[in-house]
Structure 1
C-alpha cells in the first residue's frame, strides 16, 4: 500500500499511544543529516518481509515531525548505506512525503532471500535482528536458524535419545492409535506399535520416540526437551505487578492449560475503563484463541538451535500476544489468515495432532479448517482490528486485540448520535478517529481493519456519509468528520418535500459513484441499500439468524453482511435482537 499523509498520520497516532517503534518499522530524526542505519538495514535484511524506516520524525520528543532539509540528498545517502554498509547489500525504495508542511523520507527495506541470509554489517561482520522497537545482535544459534530456514523442516522426526514407548502417555497414545485406525484400512490391520511407527511416533528402526511423538503424546516431554513448554505473562492494566507462570506436559495439556489461563485472566489484561466485555470471552471466540495457541505450539521451530526457547503468551495493554520460535515457512505474511494459505512446518507433528484429542476439543488440529482464518473471522464479526503478524526470521508473533479501542467517553459521545446504535463497530472506531483529527481513505481502512477489499471499505465509509457523520471534501477520496453541529443528531426518515438534496453524486469522467454530504443531513426515502441487501433479505424470514448463519447462506463476509444490514435496520425492514455486549445477536424480517 502506497504511503499517504493520512496513512502516516494514523501511524504517528499509533506510535504515540504505544510510545515505542514497531518490529517492522523504525523512525529516526534526520534534520541534521543522515543517521547511521547499518544495524537497522541488517535487521530488516534478515527479516523475511523486510521493514520500513521513516526519517524526519523525532521519536524521543513524542514522535514529533521535524522533517528533513534535502530529501533528494538524504535518499542518495541512504541508498549508498544500503549498498556499502551491509553485506549482502539490501534493496531500498524511497518515497518523499509532506506532513505538517515538512518533508519526510520513507525507506522500504526489502528482506533478503533465505539463501542470502544472514545480512551482516560490512564493518565488524555483525548480524542483527529486529525485536520490538530495536535491534539486537544475533546469536550463533539464531544464525543457524536463518541458515536452516532454506530447507523444509524435518526436525519433528528426529529421534530423542533415552526415550522409549514406555515414555508415552497410555491414555493419549491409545486414543491416538484408535483414531488413526478408524481412518485407514491398512492401519486397522496392523499392531499398535506398527501404527505408532508408521505415523512417526516411533523412529522407523529402533525403539526411540521421535520428537513429534514425545511432544504430542509423551507422559512428560520436558524430562527430555525442557523447552517444549509455555511461558505466560500477565501484565495487569494500570500499575499491576506482572505475573509469570509456566505450563508443562504433552502438547494437548499445554493447549488446555493456556486456554484456561487466558479465560481466567483476560479481564485483567483489558485497560481499565473499558465498558464492554471482550469478544474473546464468549464461548464461540474461544475456538479462535485455541487456534492461535495451537498454531504456535504445532508450527514452532523444533531444531536444536531453539533449545532453551519456548512458546510465550502475554496479556498486556489490551492485547493477547502469542510468540513461538521460528519463522513462517512456505507462506508470506500477507497470506496468513486467508483461505488456501496452509503450510505445515512440522508435517509429522501436524499429522499426529490430527488424531490427538484435548479436553478443549475433540482434536488438537482440524485438518480441514484454516486456524488463522478462524481468528480473522472472530475479529471480523466483533468489528475489531485485524490480527498483527510479525516474523523477524527466528521468531513468529501473532497479536490480537482483547476488545474495542473505544473508551467509555467515546461510547458516551457515540450514544449522543441518533444513529450511533446503527453503526458497526468499525464505523464507530473510524468516526471516533475522525473526531480526533484522523482522515481516512478506503485503502487505509481496508488495511487497518483487514476488510476484504477496498470496495468493502468504501461501503463502510459511505455508510458514515449517508448518516451525515462524515464527508469527502473536494474531489478526493479522503473522508473526514462532518461538523458536529450538523451531525450530532441527524434525523432518520424522509426528507421534507421540496427540500431533498441528493446524497449520491457522480465523480466527473470516472464512471464511479461517491456519496456526498448535503444539508439538511437526512437519509432519503427510499433508503439507499447495499448491493448485498437483496441477497440477505431473501434468506431472512421469521426465524432469526445470526451473522454466521447469513454468511453460510449467502457466501458474504461478516462485514459485508453488517454493512448491508445497517440501512435495513435504520428503515425498520429488519429487526435485531441482542447487539454489542450480547453473546448472541440475531436478525429477522420485520414483515414476517
Structure 2
C-alpha cells in the first residue's frame, strides 16, 4: 500500500467517516449506482477527489472481498465517459491490510467547463460533508460566473453618492494611507485619493468596494451583505428556544468586525485558567483572535457577484463547534495550501487593497494585514488554547471554516499538563535532563498533545513540517518517556502525553 493511501485510511478510521474529497464504497456487489452523483460532485470540487472501492465504512474501513477488481475498473472508466465534459480518472490497484482495493483519482474539471453534468439527466452535483447534492440553478450560475476573473468589487453602485461614505472612516483611511504609503497613494488628497484607491469612480460614484469598507450604511444597497450569527440553545434550556444571541450585524466592514467580536465576547463560554506566572484569567471557549481572522476573511473574500448577493456570512455556535461560512470558494489557492504558503491572492482585490488601510473604530487595530498571516495566526491561537486544528472545506461556491471545542479540563490544564510531564521526566529518562531537552517543535507538539491524542497527519498542518520530520520528533519524545504511541500495524497510530 502506498504511503499516502496508508495515511489516508488511518485518517478515515480515526474520523469514522468520509472526507469532503474522499468517497469510500464497499462495491462488494459491483459498481454502486450512487457513484454517478459522486463523480460529478468530485469533478466540480476544487482539487477533485478520491474514490476507494473495496473498504467497508461500517466496519472501520476494513477490506471486503471484491468479486472482480478488473471489471470494477472497466465499469468505472466507462461511467466516467457519461458526463459532459467526461470525468478524467486515474485508476489503479493497490492493497489495504493485504487485500486488493481499487483507487480512482478524480481530476477537477477545468473551470471553463464547469459544472460537470450527467449526460442522461443534465444534473450537476456538489460535494458536501454529508454526501452529494444536486446543484440549484443559482449554484450553477456561480460556476458559470467563475469562468471569468471577478471584478464585481470595482463596479459603481447605482444611486449612491459621495455623501453615502462615512466621513470618520474616510478621514482615518486617508491618514493611514499617507502614513504608510506617502510616496505612492499617499501623495494624493481628497477625492483624488479616493478615486485612485478605487473607493469612488472618476464620476464620484462609490464602488461596491468603497461602500462596503467606508460606507455609512452599505446594506441600503446590499441588504444581505451582512453577518448572521446565532448560538444553539444551552443544553439545560427546556423552553423550546431555537437559538440564542441571534443577531444580524450590519454596517461597513470595520464596524461589522467590531460588532462580531462583541457578539463573540457575549456568547462564547469562558473558563477560569491559571497561567504559568500564577495569574488567573478568563479563557473563552474559542480564541477571539482566531474568530476575528475567520470573520475578516469571510467578509473580504466572500463572492460579490449577483448570484451571491442574497447570501450572508453565517456564524453558527454549536455545542461542540464554531462554524463560519461565506459564499464563494477559495480563489488562487487550495485548501491544502492554506497557511503553508504566503499566498495573498484575492478574489476582491480592490476590497482587500482598501481594507489594508482600515482600522477598527473601537480598538484602533488594523482590519487586515494582507500578508497571508491569517491562517497561521488561527493555527497558533488554537494551539495556545489547547484546541484541535481548524477544518476548512472549499465547495467551489462556498467556503466553510470549523473550529472544534476541546474538553474544558484539558484546555484549562494545557500548561499544567506539560509542566507535570516535565516534572515526571527525570525519573523516566536514562540520561540526565541537562543533556537533552525538547526542541521548540517538540514543545509545540507537547502542547498539542495535551488536548488529546494526535496522529502524524493531524500534526502536519499545525507544524508545517514533513511527515518524516514529525515522526523523528515524536520518536525522540517517545524515547524520552514524554509521549506514548498508540496503535500499530493495521491500525491508526496516534500519540498522547505519557502518564
Pick the TM interval, shorter chain. 0.7 to 0.9
Alignment of 1:419-458 (within 5 A): 426-427=445-446, 442=456, 444-447=457-460, 449-454=462-467, 455-458=469-472
Normalised TM-score (structure 2): 0.79
Task: Provide the C-alpha distance between the structure 2 equivalents of 1:239 and 1:93, rounded to a whole number of angstroms.
Answer: 51
Task: Provide the C-alpha distance between the structure 1 equivalents of 2:302 and 2:27, rounded to a whole number of angstroms.
Answer: 39
The alpha-carbon deviation at position 12 of structure 1 amounts to 2.5
The 8 Å contact of residues 42 and 108 in structure 2, kept in 1 or not, is answered as yes
Distance change >3 Å, CA 93–CA 193, structure 1 → 2: same
The 8 Å contact of residues 427 and 464 in structure 1, kept in 2 or not, is answered as no
Aligned position for 2:429: none
Q: Does residue 213 of structure 2 align to residue 216 of structure 1?
A: yes
Task: Provide the C-alpha distance between the structure 1 equivalents of 2:251 and 2:394, rounded to a whole number of angstroms.
Answer: 27
The alpha-carbon deviation at position 251 of structure 1 amounts to 0.7
The alpha-carbon deviation at position 148 of structure 1 amounts to 2.9
The alpha-carbon deviation at position 467 of structure 1 amounts to 0.6
Q: Does residue 278 of structure 2 align to residue 264 of structure 1?
A: no
Aligned position for 1:388: 391
More displaced stretch, 215-224 vs 181-190:
181-190
Aligned position for 1:75: 73
Secondary structure of 1:130's match?
A: strand
Alignment of 1:489-568 (within 5 A): none
Alignment of 1:146-545 (within 5 A): 146-182=143-179, 183-185=181-183, 190-204=188-202, 206-235=203-232, 238=235, 241-243=242-244, 244-267=246-269, 285-358=287-360, 359-368=362-371, 370-382=373-385, 384-403=387-406, 426-427=445-446, 442=456, 444-447=457-460, 449-454=462-467, 455-467=469-481, 470=484
Q: Does residue 14 of structure 2 align to residue 13 of structure 1?
A: yes
Task: Provide the C-alpha distance between the structure 2 equivalents of 1:253 and 1:72, rounded to a whole number of angstroms.
Answer: 60
Task: Provide the C-alpha distance between the structure 2 equivalents of 1:268 and 1:381, rounded to a whole number of angstroms.
Answer: 15
The alpha-carbon deviation at position 418 of structure 1 amounts to 6.3
The 8 Å contact of residues 253 and 299 in structure 2, kept in 1 or not, is answered as yes
The alpha-carbon deviation at position 210 of structure 1 amounts to 0.4
Unaligned runs of 5+ in 2: 272-280, 426-441
Q: Does residue 126 of structure 2 align to residue 125 of structure 1?
A: no
Distance change >3 Å, CA 476–CA 394, structure 1 → 2: closer
The alpha-carbon deviation at position 340 of structure 1 amounts to 1.9
More displaced stretch, 69-78 vs 465-474:
465-474
More displaced stretch, 72-81 vs 39-48:
72-81
Distance change >3 Å, CA 268–CA 480, structure 1 → 2: closer
Normalised TM-score (structure 1): 0.68
Task: Provide the C-alpha distance between the structure 2 equivalents of 1:27 and 1:154, rounded to a whole number of angstroms.
Answer: 39
The alpha-carbon deviation at position 209 of structure 1 amounts to 1.1
Aligned position for 1:87: 85
Secondary structure of 1:324's match?
A: strand
The alpha-carbon deviation at position 367 of structure 1 amounts to 3.4
The alpha-carbon deviation at position 35 of structure 1 amounts to 0.5
RCO greater where, 1 or 2, for CA within 8 Å and sep 6 or more? Answer: 2
Unaligned runs of 5+ in 1: 270-276, 489-592
What is the total number of aligned residue pairs between the two structures? Answer: 461
Secondary structure of 1:146's match?
A: helix
The alpha-carbon deviation at position 207 of structure 1 amounts to 3.3
Task: Provide the C-alpha distance between the structure 1 equivalents of 2:356 and 2:288, rounded to a whole number of angstroms.
Answer: 19
The alpha-carbon deviation at position 261 of structure 1 amounts to 2.0
The alpha-carbon deviation at position 318 of structure 1 amounts to 3.0
Q: CA RMSD in A?
A: 3.9
Task: Provide the C-alpha distance between the structure 1 equivalents of 2:482 and 2:49, rounded to a whole number of angstroms.
Answer: 39
Aligned position for 1:55: 53
The 8 Å contact of residues 201 and 210 in structure 1, kept in 2 or not, is answered as yes
Task: Provide the C-alpha distance between the structure 1 equivalents of 2:218 and 2:172, rounded to a whole number of angstroms.
Answer: 18
The 8 Å contact of residues 45 and 111 in structure 1, kept in 2 or not, is answered as yes
The 8 Å contact of residues 383 and 448 in structure 2, kept in 1 or not, is answered as no
Distance change >3 Å, CA 45–CA 179, structure 1 → 2: same
Secondary structure of 1:390's match?
A: strand
Aligned position for 1:519: none
Secondary structure of 2:378's match?
A: helix
Q: Does residue 30 of structure 2 align to residue 33 of structure 1?
A: yes
Q: Does residue 44 of structure 2 align to residue 46 of structure 1?
A: yes
The 8 Å contact of residues 42 and 86 in structure 1, kept in 2 or not, is answered as no
The alpha-carbon deviation at position 85 of structure 1 amounts to 4.4
Secondary structure of 1:222's match?
A: helix
Secondary structure of 2:112's match?
A: helix
The alpha-carbon deviation at position 478 of structure 1 amounts to 8.8
Task: Provide the C-alpha distance between the structure 2 equivalents of 1:405 and 1:85, rounded to a whole number of angstroms.
Answer: 49
Aligned position for 2:108: 111
The 8 Å contact of residues 48 and 113 in structure 1, kept in 2 or not, is answered as no
Secondary structure of 2:268's match?
A: helix
Secondary structure of 1:153's match?
A: coil
Secondary structure of 1:233's match?
A: strand
The 8 Å contact of residues 48 and 108 in structure 2, kept in 1 or not, is answered as yes
Aligned position for 1:506: none
Aligned position for 2:276: none
More displaced stretch, 396-405 vs 73-82:
396-405
Q: Render the CA deviation track for 1:385-433: whole Å, top value 9, x for unaligned.
A: 433222111112222334369869x99xx89x96697796745876997
Distance change >3 Å, CA 365–CA 428, structure 1 → 2: closer
